């Protein structure tokens, strides 16, 4: 296992080196404008990946990983088959953690801010903006809380039922602790003092075309009613960078309806790359965690009252998104 | 003897089936309990003090049992679930049979009826919550139409909560029962290569047959009424269950699996109707907390015990009978398979 990983690492290192040299040549040509800027960014990103690979710092040392896993296992209701009532299997997560680390540290080189604002114990709702056509933003939030927070926290994401119904992907989600997005499931996990992640924008948010990037769509109200009902603190989260991972010109809505899928994106790069256009580009992810917010009130209040509270959370996320856009130097760095 | 307790008389329908036999044996060992069986099939190796009536509930003669005995509890196990059975007969047996039984209970003031429905009535759906409560909608028929009669029977028993409030009606919905029973799940695990769908691995709940019998006995306690999910100790992924049975699954790609299943069904290679393949995709895991709290029921057999019980070769006496009747083309008369 370890030898194979080392070999894979060597191979990636070689590719990264080659890419870096190629881009250095491209930089010499000194083209102007956006292509040059992107080339410079990619070159810098490739350099970053190269450094990470050379130092090996992208992978967590074995004892550190073990300590984190033990910490998580201490707070879980697992049966004798090592799964919980939602089909979450920590053993499975332990197996795929190198892949998660590679995506988190090398591919997206995620930068995480104020992650200690997520409470170490006790129930909480993690509310984030949704973007990027494929739900890698959820994955990065989950992996940041496993890899970057100390002590780590397991995130239980509420997943669209269409995604859960897919072969392989659905099973993968469930084994990694993600759950079908139903209020009842959420209520139970909050009662068990878990951290539940919700994207209130849902499918509309993730399927936004490129022109609408970083404009938050309508937030659903369900999470706020649940938070009020269960007296759960809300941690607003902004993910910046995910919007550029897949460029989407618009959605094929009629076909999506016919196939009863949430959306069918039309990536212009498909003309060049074919299905590879749906592979996320190695953009840089920035994840901002906000101050936990506690709301009081009747969970069955009028929509207008709930909307005001939801608006507060949305506003907090919006301003963190704005901060992220201000702070970043480019798409890939 | 003045201090002697009143003798309890219980009626068990479907007594010749595996679950019926187990329940009969458990009950007749209790002091002062008279067990009366109703089943079309013969009850082999019947303990002498158990009275067995080989009749069909839909016949007039069935009523005589209630006329002549002072019945205290009816255990209704005699539901048919055999997808190979003719639909008309299937419906008539389950629905008319149950209706007649409930009418007898009302007419002859039987204080208690325990119906063994099934956890299958909720149906596998992608948007099932991880804990299906007893109040969850019974959606199984939306994909698998042949289960409509079992849902109707479950609802019919529930309607007696208000129709006959003085009658204590209990509906038990056990998870997949494993053991000597010939139900879909036990048969599935007995296959050399149980079919699975590529990329799917839903959670499964199984329960040992003896645990189900314990739940049934617990449900007979006076004062109890309502619907109860009955679950085993833990839910586990389907593939782990198959591995626990020492079998290797046969992966089928989901888009063509129904086609293969339909073909295999017509050729009698597979006893799973294509519509039931959803069980291999999505979970329907029950919340057993109500039975824990109100029935005081706690499963004692582990999943491994239950799997071992399903795989035990020397199944039971009824099996030989079943095979003989099948060859005699007396299939319809014999096949009162109990599948909760």
Domain count, chain B: 1
Binned at pLDDT 50, 70 and 90, residue B324 comes out as very low
The answer to whether B147 touches B121, Cβ cutoff 8 Å, is yes
For residue B328, what pLDDT is reported? 33
d(CA B120, CA A95): 33
| Contact between A188 and B131 using a beta-carbon 8 Å cutoff | yes
For residue A36, what pLDDT is reported? 81
Same domain, residue pair A20 and A131: no
B60 domain residue, yes or no: yes
d(CA A239, CA A224): 20
Chain B: nearest CA to A70, how far in angstroms?
22
Q: Does B131 touch chain A (CB under 8 A)?
A: yes
End-to-end CA distance of chain B: 42
Give B6's Cβ-side CA count (13 Å radius). 6
**Least CA distance to B235: which residue of chain A?**
A85
For residue A27, what pLDDT is reported? 53
Chain B: nearest CA to A8, how far in angstroms?
25
Same domain, residue pair A47 and A88: no
In sequence order, what E strands does B58-192 have?
A: 73-76, 112-116, 168-174, 176-178
**Least CA distance to A180: which residue of chain B?**
B127
Average pLDDT estimate for B251-265: 91
Q: Does A185 touch chain B (CB under 8 A)?
A: yes
A169 domain residue, yes or no: yes
Closest by alpha carbon to B229, among B339, B112, B136?
B136
Average pLDDT estimate for A52-78: 90
Nearest by CB to residue A80, choosing from B127, B201, B234, is: B234
CATH classification of the domain holding A314: 3.40.1130
Nearest by CB to residue B237, choosing from A87, A167, A188, is: A87
CATH classification of the domain holding B36: 3.40.50.720
Same domain, residue pair A12 and A68: no
Which of B237, B280, B299 should we substitute to test contact with A (largest number of A Cβ atoms within 10 Å)? B237
Which of B129, B244, B280 should we substitute to test contact with A (largest number of A Cβ atoms within 10 Å)? B129
Q: Does B8 touch chain A (CB under 8 A)?
A: no
Same domain, residue pair A105 and A144: yes
Closest by alpha carbon to A120, among A153, A155, A74?
A153
Average pLDDT estimate for A268-281: 90
Tell me phi and psi for residue B272, to 5 degrees: -105, 115
The answer, yes or no, to whether residue B5 has pLDDT greater than 70, is: no
For residue B271, what pLDDT is reported? 81
B52 domain residue, yes or no: yes
| Contact between B285 and A180 using a beta-carbon 8 Å cutoff | no
For residue A22, what pLDDT is reported? 64
Answer with the residue of higher pLDDT: B82 or A133: A133
In sequence order, what E strands does A90-228 have?
A: 111-113, 124-128, 155-159, 179-180, 195-198
Same domain, residue pair A43 and A190: no
With beta carbons under 8 A apart, name residues in chain B contacting A185. Answer: 129-130
Same domain, residue pair A165 and A91: yes
| Contact between A185 and B234 using a beta-carbon 8 Å cutoff | no
B56 domain residue, yes or no: yes
| Average pLDDT taken over every residue of chain A | 91
With beta carbons under 8 A apart, name residues in chain A contacting B202. Answer: 87
Domain interval for residue A35: 1-57
| Average pLDDT taken over every residue of chain B | 88
Q: Choose the weakest-confidence range: A20-34, A95-109, A153-167, B38-52.
A: A20-34
| Contact between B283 and A87 using a beta-carbon 8 Å cutoff | yes
Q: Which residue has the tokens 């449900």?
A: B219
d(CA B197, CA B274): 12
The answer to whether A12 touches A6, Cβ cutoff 8 Å, is no
| Contact between A81 and B129 using a beta-carbon 8 Å cutoff | no
Same domain, residue pair A33 and A144: no
Q: Does A215 touch chain B (CB under 8 A)?
A: no
d(CA A268, CA A272): 8
**Least CA distance to A182: which residue of chain B?**
B129
With beta carbons under 8 A apart, name residues in chain B contacting A163. Answer: none
Average pLDDT estimate for B153-177: 95
Give the number of residues written for chain A: 333
Q: Does B109 touch chain A (CB under 8 A)?
A: no
Same domain, residue pair A49 and A153: no
The answer, yes or no, to whether residue A19 has pLDDT greater than 80, is: no
| Contact between A180 and B201 using a beta-carbon 8 Å cutoff | no
Which of A89, A164, A167, A190 should we substitute to test contact with B (largest number of B Cβ atoms within 10 Å)? A167
With beta carbons under 8 A apart, name residues in chain B contacting A80. Answer: 233-234, 302-303
B35 domain residue, yes or no: yes
The answer, yes or no, to whether residue B339 has pLDDT greater than 70, is: no
Answer with the residue of higher pLDDT: A21 or A272: A272
Residue window 65-94, chain A: list those with CB within 8 Å of chain B.
79-81, 83, 85-87, 89
Q: Does A262 touch chain B (CB under 8 A)?
A: no
Average pLDDT estimate for B30-40: 91
User: For residue range B291-302, what is the model confidence (pLDDT) as tens digits?
Assistant: 999 999 999 999
d(CA B220, CA B15): 16
| Contact between A184 and B129 using a beta-carbon 8 Å cutoff | yes
Residue B84 Cα distances to A62, B19, B266, B272, angstroms: 56, 20, 10, 9
A97 domain residue, yes or no: yes
Q: Establish whether the linkage from the previous residue to A151 is cis, with ω within 30° of 0.
A: yes
Q: Take residue A304 and report the two structure tokens written for it.
A: 């207008």
Same domain, residue pair A44 and A132: no
B78 domain residue, yes or no: yes
B239 domain residue, yes or no: no
Q: Choose the weakest-confidence range: A6-15, A133-142, A162-171, B19-28.
A: A6-15
For residue A189, what pLDDT is reported? 96
Same domain, residue pair A178 and A41: no
For residue A32, what pLDDT is reported? 57
Average pLDDT estimate for B129-142: 94
Same domain, residue pair A45 and A108: no
Domain interval for residue B19: 8-179+208-231+285-300+314-334
d(CA B312, CA B205): 20
For residue B327, what pLDDT is reported? 34
A122 domain residue, yes or no: yes
Q: Establish whether the linkage from the previous residue to A99 is cis, with ω within 30° of 0.
A: no
Q: Take residue B205 and report the two structure tokens written for it.
A: 């709940």
Binned at pLDDT 50, 70 and 90, residue A261 comes out as confident
Binned at pLDDT 50, 70 and 90, residue B317 comes out as very low
Chain A: nearest CA to B233, how far in angstroms?
9
In sequence order, what E strands does B66-202 have?
A: 73-76, 112-116, 168-174, 176-178, 195-197
Answer with the residue of higher pLDDT: B266 or A4: B266
Domain count, chain A: 2
Same domain, residue pair A88 and A32: no
Q: Does B288 touch chain A (CB under 8 A)?
A: no
Answer with the residue of higher pLDDT: B122 or A40: B122
B196 domain residue, yes or no: no
The answer to whether B32 touches B38, Cβ cutoff 8 Å, is no
């Amino acid at each position: 296992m370890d030898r194979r990983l080392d070999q894979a690492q060597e191979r990636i290192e070689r590719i990264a080196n080659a890419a870096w040299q190629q881009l250095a040549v491209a930089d010499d040509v000194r083209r102007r404008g956006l292509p040059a800027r992107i080339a410079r960014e990619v070159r810098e990103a490739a350099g970053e990946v190269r450094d990470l690979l050379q130092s090996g710092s992208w992978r967590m040392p074995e004892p550190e990983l073990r300590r984190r896993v033990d910490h998580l296992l201490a707070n879980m209701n697992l049966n004798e088959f090592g799964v919980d009532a939602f089909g979450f299997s920590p053993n499975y997560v332990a197996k795929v953690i190198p892949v998660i680390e590679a995506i988190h540290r090398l591919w997206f080189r995620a930068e995480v801010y104020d992650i200690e604002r997520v409470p170490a114990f006790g129930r909480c709702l993690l509310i984030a903006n949704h973007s990027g056509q494929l739900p890698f933003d959820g994955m990065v939030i989950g992996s940041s809380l496993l890899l970057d927070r100390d002590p780590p926290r397991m995130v239980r994401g509420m997943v669209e039922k269409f995604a859960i119904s897919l072969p392989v992907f659905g099973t993968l989600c469930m084994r990694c602790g993600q759950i079908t997005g139903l209020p009842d499931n959420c209520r139970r996990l909050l009662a068990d003092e878990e951290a539940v992640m919700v994207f209130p924008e849902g499918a509309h948010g993730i399927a936004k075309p490129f022109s609408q990037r970083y404009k938050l769509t309508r937030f659903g109200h369900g999470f706020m009613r649940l938070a009020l009902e269960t007296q759960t603190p809300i941690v607003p989260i902004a993910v910046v960078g995910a919007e550029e991972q897949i460029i989407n010109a618009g959605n094929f809505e009629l076909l999506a309806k016919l196939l009863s899928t949430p959306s069918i994106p039309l990536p212009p790069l498909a003309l060049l790359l074919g299905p590879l256009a749906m592979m996320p580009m190695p953009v840089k992810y920035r994840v901002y965690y906000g101050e936990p917010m506690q709301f009081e009130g009747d969970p069955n209040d009028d929509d207008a009252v709930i909307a005001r509270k939801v608006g507060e959370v949305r506003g907090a996320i919006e301003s963190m998104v704005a901060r992220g856009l201000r702070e970043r130097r480019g798409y890939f760095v | 003897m003045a201090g002697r307790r009143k003798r309890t008389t219980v009626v068990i329908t479907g007594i010749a089936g595996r679950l019926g036999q187990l329940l009969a044996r458990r009950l007749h060992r209790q002091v002062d309990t008279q067990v009366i069986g109703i089943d079309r099939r013969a009850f082999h190796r019947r303990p002498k003090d158990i009275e067995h009536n080989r009749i069909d509930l839909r016949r007039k003669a069935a009523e005589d049992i209630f006329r002549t005995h002072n019945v205290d509890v009816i255990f209704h196990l005699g539901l048919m679930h055999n997808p190979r059975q003719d639909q008309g007969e299937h419906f008539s047996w389950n629905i008319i049979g149950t209706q007649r039984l409930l009418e007898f209970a009302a007419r002859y003031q039987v204080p208690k009826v325990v119906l063994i429905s099934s956890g299958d009535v909720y149906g596998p759906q992608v948007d099932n919550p991880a804990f299906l409560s007893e109040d969850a909608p019974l959606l199984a028929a939306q994909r698998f139409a042949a289960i409509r009669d079992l849902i109707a029977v479950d609802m019919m028993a529930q309607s007696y909560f208000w129709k006959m409030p003085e009658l204590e009606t209990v509906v038990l919905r056990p998870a997949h029962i494993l053991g000597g029973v010939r139900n879909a799940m036990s048969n599935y695990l007995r296959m050399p290569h149980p079919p699975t769908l590529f990329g799917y691995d839903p959670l499964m709940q199984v329960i040992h047959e003896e645990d189900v019998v314990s739940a049934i006995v617990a449900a007979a306690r006076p004062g109890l009424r309502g619907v109860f999910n009955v679950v085993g100790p833990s839910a586990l992924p389907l593939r782990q269950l198959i591995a626990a049975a020492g079998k290797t699954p046969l992966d089928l790609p989901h888009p063509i699996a129904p086609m293969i299943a339909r073909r295999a069904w017509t050729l009698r290679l597979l006893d799973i109707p294509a519509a039931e393949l959803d069980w291999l995709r999505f979970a329907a895991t029950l919340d057993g907390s109500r039975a824990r709290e109100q029935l005081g029921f706690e499963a004692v057999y582990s999943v491994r015990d239950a799997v071992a019980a399903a795989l035990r070769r020397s199944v039971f006496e009824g099996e030989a009978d079943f095979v003989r009747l099948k060859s005699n083309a007396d299939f319809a008369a014999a096949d009162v398979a109990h599948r909760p």
